[in-house]
A and B are shown apart, each in its own frame.
Chain A
Amino acid sequence: MLPHLCHACGFDLSRRRAAIEPHYGLAVVRCTCGVAHARRANPAAGLLKMMLRVDAIAVRVLVQGALACGFTLAVLVVMHVWAITVDAGLPDNPRAVALAAVLAGLVLPVALGAWLTAGFAHLPLMRVWIGWTIWILGWWAAVLLVRAAVVFMEPDLHSVPPSERSLMMLFESAPAVIALFLMMLVSSAGIPIGRLLLRMAGAFRAWRWRLRMRMRRAARQSR
């Protein structure tokens, strides 16, 4: 046990029981000379707490990064498929078309909206939506640039000359961008789900906190 010395008289307070102060919630221990001290955790426990915090940051960044990559890829694929469909028409299989429409037009945007709401709850909602749209458009432009570079370097791959091909790519992008805006519109349906998820997470944290407090109280009473 580490010594906890009174800064007024030097008395070791480590063996005195601290009482939880009702107003501030601090663990206060009073010295025999009358001076009050707030008990602090052991520095080693503080180090462990700091490591857990760093771990929480790493987990959060990894999860957010993975979700961002997944959603970016999914949205780009949907945009690309939409552009191809507008150009070449729908395939013959109606069941596959219906399934793809439900997945790309409903499930993906709603999941995206829920994630944008719950994952970026600390930022204004409108800023998150605008930021995400710009992010996707940036990636789309990057994909177009790479395609243009490939066409320029490997002109034999396509029968159309490179100059006309790059113009065609721009025209192809128009339906894809429309698809993106439609998806962002539908994704607003995910806002209530995201808020519900946030509430559930908050309720879970509160329940865990109460459980811990109850266990601590029980342990104190049993001593």
Chain B
Amino acid sequence: MTGQSLHPADPTRITADRLCRVCGGNLIGCDLSREEHYHLLIARCPQCSAVNSVQTYPHLTEWEVRWRRLIAGFWFLIAVCLFLFGGFGLFAWSAAVAFEAFDQTGWMLYDEFEFRTEQSGAETAGVITFDVWWGERSIREFVAAEMGGWMRVLDDDALSLAAIGVMFATVYGIILSIAMVHRRTRSRLVLCAIQYGVSFAAGVLILLLIVKAEGVTSEAAVIRGLIIPAALVCGAVYGGAMLLSVWLGRALLRWLAVVLLPPRLRGPLAFLWTCDGRSLPRGAPL
């Protein structure tokens, strides 16, 4: 028996991050006891069985408190910026992918549309007639024939850009899942979906405003007819990837930590487990 029974006023368990002085393992969840000889409040490390005193200094150093506040404020600023502008950045990327995807096809359509409207004498065909024009089967067949098949309508570079965007969305989702460490899965997903939805709507609005500013031109018609639907599809894919990684991001990081790090190095990452109400996985005793 290492210790004696605790006083009723004493805490019985460590409830915050505290690392073992010998092996660096996290002592969170360990039982406290009073050492029988010195009557010190102690906790035994479950990994190396070293005795750790749990007596702490009060925060007497002003500079420590100031540094903590500064770091917390900096983190808060980064989190707010990520939350506000991250979704908008993703939508901007999807718009860029859409522009890149229809780079050749868009210009070819633009030239063809200009040519045909000139031929028919309707100088202001623009926004309204483009839909009707694009709706004709012969035009779509003409585009496919001009580009050498439907698979070549989209620019090759756009695919790699789109894949990079999926990676960005995944990393962004994982960062959000860590930034909202106090949120449970459902509220995290709802918040992120709302945030991305608002960014998405703002992005579409900006694109529509650009189209409106362009006036009734063939270029605006191509943007409206091809670019915006493609950006919507791409943005929806990114939103899905982001929400998926918001949902599974912490589990992925926990798995990576278990695979890559030995138990003595996992101590500072204990929040990945405790934020979801899980107990920290302990390694085999040393």
Contacts and interface: CB of A to CB of B under 8 A. Distances in A.
Contacts of B261: 57, 60-61, 122
A204 to B, nearest CB: 16
A121 B151 contact: no
A53 B19 contact: yes
A177 B216 CA distance: 59
A120 B283 CA distance: 12
B123 to A, nearest CB: 39
A153 B269 CA distance: 45
Contacts of A123: 259
Given A43-B57, A153-B151, A121 B268 contact: no
Given A2-B57, A36-B40, A43-B61, A53 B51 contact: no
Contacts of A120: 259
A123 B283 CA distance: 9
Contacts of B267: 53
Nearest to A35: B39
Most chain-A CB neighbours within 10 Å: which of B24, B151, B260, B283? B260
B64 interface: yes
Nearest to A28: B38
B87 interface: no
Interface string A50-72: 10011011001100110000000
A40 B56 contact: yes
Given A57-B261, A153-B151, A40 B19 contact: no
29 contacts: A24-B35, A24-B42, A25-B22, A25-B51, A26-B53, A28-B38, A28-B40, A35-B39, A36-B38, A36-B39, A37-B55, A38-B40, A38-B53, A38-B55, A40-B53, A40-B55, A40-B57, A43-B57, A43-B59, A43-B61, A44-B63, A47-B67, A50-B19, A53-B19, A53-B24, A53-B267, A57-B268, A123-B259, A153-B152
A interface: dominant SS = mixed
Contacts of B283: 122
A56 B265 contact: yes
B263 interface: yes
A3 interface: yes
Closest 9 A/B residue pairs (Cβ)? A38-B53, A36-B38, A122-B262, A24-B51, A64-B260, A153-B151, A57-B265, A53-B268, A43-B64
Contacts of B259: 120, 123, 131
B55 A60 contact: no
B95 to A, nearest CB: 24
B60 A3 contact: yes
A2 B40 contact: no
Given A60-B265, A120-B259, A122-B262, 19 more contacts: A4-B57, A21-B38, A24-B35, A26-B40, A26-B53, A36-B38, A37-B55, A38-B38, A38-B53, A38-B55, A40-B57, A42-B57, A43-B59, A43-B61, A47-B64, A53-B19, A56-B265, A57-B269, A153-B152
Interface in A1-57: 2-4, 21, 24-26, 28, 35-38, 40, 42-44, 47, 50, 53-54, 56-57
A152 interface: yes
Interface in A126-168: 131, 152-153
Contacts of A4: 57
B260 A60 contact: yes
Interface residues on A, range: 20 to 34
Interface of B: 19, 22, 24, 35, 38-40, 42, 50-51, 53, 55-57, 59-61, 63-64, 67, 151-152, 156, 259-263, 265, 267-269, 283
Interface of A: 2-4, 21, 24-26, 28, 35-38, 40, 42-44, 47, 50, 53-54, 56-57, 60-61, 64-65, 120-123, 131, 152-153
A2 B260 contact: no
B148 to A, nearest CB: 9
A57 B267 CA distance: 10
A121 B262 contact: yes
A40 to B, nearest CB: 6
A114 to B, nearest CB: 17
Contacts of A152: 151
Contacts of B63: 44
Contacts of B24: 53
A38 B262 CA distance: 29
